[in-house]
Amino acid sequence: MKKLTRQIKIGSVPIGGGAPCSVQSMCSTDTRDVAATLAQIGRLAEAGCEIVRCAVPDMDAAKALAGIKAGSPMPLIADIHFDYKLALQALESGVDGLRLNPGNIGERWKVAEVVKAAAERQIPIRIGVNGGSLEKELLVKYGHPTPEAMVESALGHVRILEELNYREIKISIKVSDVLRTLEAYRLLSDAVDYPLHIGVTEAGTIFSGTIKSSVGLGILLHQGIGDTMRVSLTGDPVHEVRVAYDILKSLGLRQRGINFVSCPTCGRCQVDLIPVAEEVERRLAHLDKNITVAVMGCSVNGPGEAREADFGIAGGRGEGLLFKHGEILRKVPQDKLADALVEEVLKP
């Protein structure tokens, strides 16, 4: 059962309160380059991204957010560190959310200024605790970024906002280690009812990062923890969105894109299946339909799996059978298998 948390809204996207777990990403472009940033946001939107975040390293970037917000097809979050003036300018530029830690903004009056401006605009704030930037006193107390240390840090930031009567809050609490991330989120989920943004930070490249994120986020989501998520990968952020949806889809939580099934191949396979499977998946990656497409390689499980799918092929000796909704359509030579399957799926 998904934990019922408070609901906030990032633009038009509901977070928490029983809403589906939303998918976020972060631009890798220079925020000051509005055209490049909007081009990347457009590609993220096509992939299904629902919320996008931009780094705000200086005042020029904070001012550039106005142009980005004007052209963005999705809600925009400003990522702020240390300088409260950047947060104020980001709000003036019309962003839909802030990511900052009140504890590193400085004096209490500076935090109060940001909270006042956010409250006037009904803009939520995400408290984002990362193991790599934990407060020095907590590192001294706990020795290193333990789950308990990160939760204490998060609750300290929350307390600052609550004392200012501000509760439009969501929280993230991340390290690159999967097990520590899991324990930290479990502890935090038990301690608060604010919506949680989940992720395994600095997870790695597309290969290793996808594995860490799938394990960590998959476990949290299965346990009912997580109201919005970002998969952090070293690479094109479009991959983050696709991986996020595949994680959600595998747990039956969200549906975007096709359900693609293919066999791992073995000594019984008599068709060169790997390039066929890769080509079919690539050519159908853009498709947002609730269908299953199977690419199978031999007579043991192949025909059965292909019949169970909406569309499928089952390989034989240098050829394969093309299926649609459980019925055999025809035999197809190996070099035409990918074309035949893709064309059948894409028929009006």
Q: Is residue 263 part of an annotated ligand binding site?
A: yes
Main-chain dihedrals φ then ψ at residue 136, nearest 5 degrees: -60, -40
Q: Is residue 27 part of an annotated ligand binding site?
A: no
Three-state DSSP state, 314 = strand
118 is written with which tokens? 């956010």
From the number of C-beta atoms within 10 Å of its C-beta (0-12, 13-18, 19+), residue 204 rates as middle
Q: Is residue 308 part of an annotated ligand binding site?
A: no
For residues 140 and 213, give the distance between their C-alpha atoms in angstroms, rounded to a whole number.
Answer: 29
Looking only at the bridges linking them, the beta strands covering 228-230 and 197-198 are: parallel
Main-chain dihedrals φ then ψ at residue 173, nearest 5 degrees: -155, 100
For residues 140 and 136, give the distance between their C-alpha atoms in angstroms, rounded to a whole number.
Answer: 6
**Of 276, 265, 266, which Cα lies nearest the Cα of 320?**
276
CA distances from 97 to 14, 24, 25 (A): 12, 12, 14
Main-chain dihedrals φ then ψ at residue 105, nearest 5 degrees: -85, -25
For residues 207 and 282, give the distance between their C-alpha atoms in angstroms, rounded to a whole number.
Answer: 17
Q: Which amino acid is at 294?
A: A
Contact by Cβ (8 Å): 311, 278: no
Taken as a whole, the chain contains a residue count of 348
Q: For 331-337, which contacts have Cβ atoms below 8 Å and span 24 or more sequence positions?
A: 334/271, 334/272, 334/276, 337/271, 337/276, 337/313
Main-chain dihedrals φ then ψ at residue 206, nearest 5 degrees: -55, -40
Q: Is residue 305 part of an annotated ligand binding site?
A: yes
For residues 148 and 244, give the distance between their C-alpha atoms in angstroms, rounded to a whole number.
Answer: 27
Annotated binding site for [4Fe-4S] cluster: 263, 266, 298, 305
- Which residues belong to the annotated binding site? 263, 266, 298, 305
